[in-house]
Amino acid sequence: MNEILNNIPDQGWEILEQSRSRGWVLEPMAKSFMEMTGLDIPKFYLGSSSSRAGEFLKQCKSGVVAKCVSSQILHKTEYGAVRVGIHNQDQLKEAFRHFKLLPGFEEVLVEEMLSGVELLVGAKIDYQFGPVIVMGIGGTGVEVYKDTTIRMAPLKPGDVLSMVNSLIGKDIISGHRGQQGVDMDVLTRVLVQFSHTVMEMEDRIESIDLNPVICTPDRCVVADARIILASEE
């Protein structure tokens, strides 16, 4: 009934396959997966060399964010595994020093800092309805504000408009008090595309968090991604 697009390339399926034993996909790979399926991700450096990261910092005018990559840390904020607003080499070196002490440290992901409207875009495989898409006001307070809305996938462009309109924070998305809002065409394309990707991976996943997706007036960028794989029974 619903046309399944072949959104996911072979390398994407490989990422899911490689993550099976862990049960979830590490952030750099999850983002790489999202990029392969047509979504925008930030410019980044991935590695453990703070001097190479320093070179990357010089290219980023508005600073960087550094995140610890660890297969033992699913929720980074709770471990202090994220440092935002890094503007100089000292701050960066300090972040590296701290991360290397965290459990399961593997690498550091350093990304350009973006500012804009922070959204949550998520997916869940619902028992009764199959793949559903969640969208709402994102960031670390997402479960505090619970300003989210749900639709069954795949989404039609009209669904995206109705999702935005059903949020309490819809004015944040359309732009208020002189703040620039979100480009609805870009947001629509991102959500529709994501919903088709989710349809394709229904059997493989339990849920996905893209939180935040940072929307500037012309881009929607997946700033963090978490893919929880379906448990194997």
We find the least distance from the C-beta atom of residue 142 to another protein, in angstroms, to be 5
Nearer to another protein, 57 or 132 (CB): 132
- Judged by CB under 8 A, which of 51, 72, 88, 162 binds another protein? 162
Backbone angles phi, psi at 232, to 5 degrees: -95, 125
Nearer to another protein, 182 or 229 (CB): 229
Burial 75-107 (b: 16+ CB within 10 A, else e): ebeebebbbeebeeeeebeebbeebeebeebbb
Interactions with another protein, residue window 131-160 (CB under 8 A): 132, 134, 136, 142-143, 146, 148-152, 159
We find the least distance from the C-beta atom of residue 214 to another protein, in angstroms, to be 16
Q: Is 56 in the site for another protein (CB under 8 A)?
A: no
Interactions with another protein, residue window 189-208 (CB under 8 A): 206-208
Both tokens assigned to 8: 């996911």
Nearer to another protein, 215 or 228 (CB): 228
Beta bridge partners of 220: 215
We find the least distance from the C-beta atom of residue 56 to another protein, in angstroms, to be 29
Nearer to another protein, 25 or 64 (CB): 25
We find the least distance from the C-beta atom of residue 227 to another protein, in angstroms, to be 9
- Judged by CB under 8 A, which of 74, 82, 184, 230 binds another protein? 74
Q: Are 95 and 86 in contact (CB under 8 A)?
A: yes
Residue 114, C-beta contacts closer than 8 angstroms, at least 6 positions apart: 42, 62, 214, 216, 221, 223
Q: Is 130 in the site for another protein (CB under 8 A)?
A: yes
Both tokens assigned to 119: 């959204």
Please count the other Cβ atoms lying within 10 Å of the Cβ belonging to residue 162. Answer: 12
- What does the alpha-carbon distance between residue 21 and residue 132 come to, in Å, rounded to a whole number? 25
Backbone angles phi, psi at 18, to 5 degrees: -65, -25
Q: Is 127 in the site for another protein (CB under 8 A)?
A: yes
Nearer to another protein, 90 or 231 (CB): 231
- What does the alpha-carbon distance between residue 130 and residue 6 come to, in Å, rounded to a whole number? 19
The site for another protein (CB under 8 A) is made up of 1, 24, 74, 120, 122-124, 126-130, 132, 134, 136, 142-143, 146, 148-152, 159, 162, 206-209, 211, 226, 228
